[in-house]
Amino acid sequence: MSELLDIAALKQVALHQRISARVHGQIDALQQKVTSSQKPFYELSLVDGGGKLTLRAWSDSPSFAQCAALKSGQFVEIEGEFSHNGSFGLDAKGWTVRLLTDEEKDEVLIGPVALREKQATDYAYLVDTLATLREPRLKALTALFLAEYGERFRRTAAARNYHHARRGGLVEHVAGMMRAAVAIAGAYPHLHRDLLLAGVLFHDCGKLWENAMPENGFTMAYDELGEMLGHITIGIELANALWRKLPLEDWRTEEPSSEEVRRHLLHLIASHHGSMEFGSPVDPKTPEAWALHYIDNLDAKLEMFAKGYETAAQIAPRIFERVRPLPGNLVAPLPL
């Protein structure tokens, strides 16, 4: 029997050699299309806890008839000979598909072991770091968010494409940002550390609706609230809703005032894309807002590089094909 690999591992191995393998996942999309010569084919997108792949079943292949009996949302095994095609990315020859058993489906849902352990470690880091906040209102607000939305947070993706676009990816993104924020706050002590860390937690909290994953799958459905408002607007609304639950009377003598703290946190959420051109309703206007914007951008870009080196085809010694939205071909980094 062929080796069973998760999608990320399969892509990495297939970059360098043709491999007979099996992969388990959930059908994210299944469409019948036609070629330029009007021949029908199926395009099947498969997702698991760490990645996504797209395969095509041509009309003269055994998989074409099998795809006709499938539908989106089903959990399946795909077995075939996989390799990297410069035009289409991962390609498979002679592949077949079958439905997974309930036991196999449960194994897919809990995710690859290494990724599952990393996300658990990242979440624990967030909990421990936020417990060190000294600003009482921000500490209470972050604790309330994790108490009410922690489970939803842990299954949300950071994006649909490009970076951390996987179940639990938002936790990875936020934890990476928080590690950077802790270091930057140490290097620049005039920054309000607690405000910056709270901003890291809340900056993408609206994605709990915009990029939400269901409890029993990997297919990221489109959400009407996410479509109509977007994650920045939802994040502001969520932060305000949680703020109103705090016992603010307990801190009526605190300086700065609770209203000022709330306003600065909302500004971080509103401005974290860096400019109105990229979707923020306002430009960053405080040191913490600028720091948050650059930390967010840095973590996203470094994730794109990391995944790019794993999946991009090598086109010359130490040079790899472009991975969008990065602006050009990738060059291998200097070894550590």
Strands 89-99 and 3-5: unpaired
Both tokens of 128, joined, read 């421990």
At 40 the pLDDT is 95
How far apart are alpha carbons 254 and 106 in whole angstroms?
49
Question: How do beta strands 40-47 and 314-316 pair?
Answer: unpaired
Could you tell me the pTM of the whole model? 0.89
Q: Is 31 exposed, middle or buried (CB count within 10 Å of its CB: 0-12, 13-18, 19+)?
A: exposed
Cα distance between residue 174 and residue 126, in whole Å: 8
Cα within 13 Å of Cα(161), Cβ side: 5
Determine the Cα–Cα distance for residues 25 and 47; give it in Å rounded to an integer: 5
Residues 6+ away with beta carbon under 8 Å from 136: 250, 251, 254
* Residue 57 one-letter amino acid: A
Per-residue pLDDT of the chain (336 residues; tens, 9 = 90+): 789 999 988 988 888 889 999 999 999 999 999 998 999 999 999 999 888 889 999 998 889 999 999 999 999 999 999 988 765 677 888 899 999 999 999 999 888 888 999 999 999 999 999 999 999 999 999 999 999 999 999 999 999 888 998 999 999 999 999 999 999 999 999 999 999 999 999 999 999 999 988 888 888 888 899 999 999 999 999 999 999 999 999 999 999 999 999 999 999 999 999 999 999 999 999 999 999 999 999 999 999 999 889 888 889 999 999 988 999 999 999 999
What pLDDT is stored for residue 156 in this prediction?
Answer: 94
DSSP structure class, residue 315: E
Asked if 31 and 110 count as a contact pair (C-beta separation under 8 A), the reply is no
Tell me the HSE value of 249 on the side-chain side, using a 13 A CA sphere.
0
Distances 321 to 91, 219, 315, 332 between C-alpha atoms, Å: 17, 28, 6, 11
Which residue, 75, 68, 73, is CA-closest to 42?
68
Domain 3-106 CATH superfamily? Nucleic acid-binding proteins (2.40.50.140)
What are φ and ψ of residue 333, in 5° steps?
-75, 165
Predicted local confidence at residue 31, as pLDDT: 95
Q: What is the DSSP letter of 332?
A: P
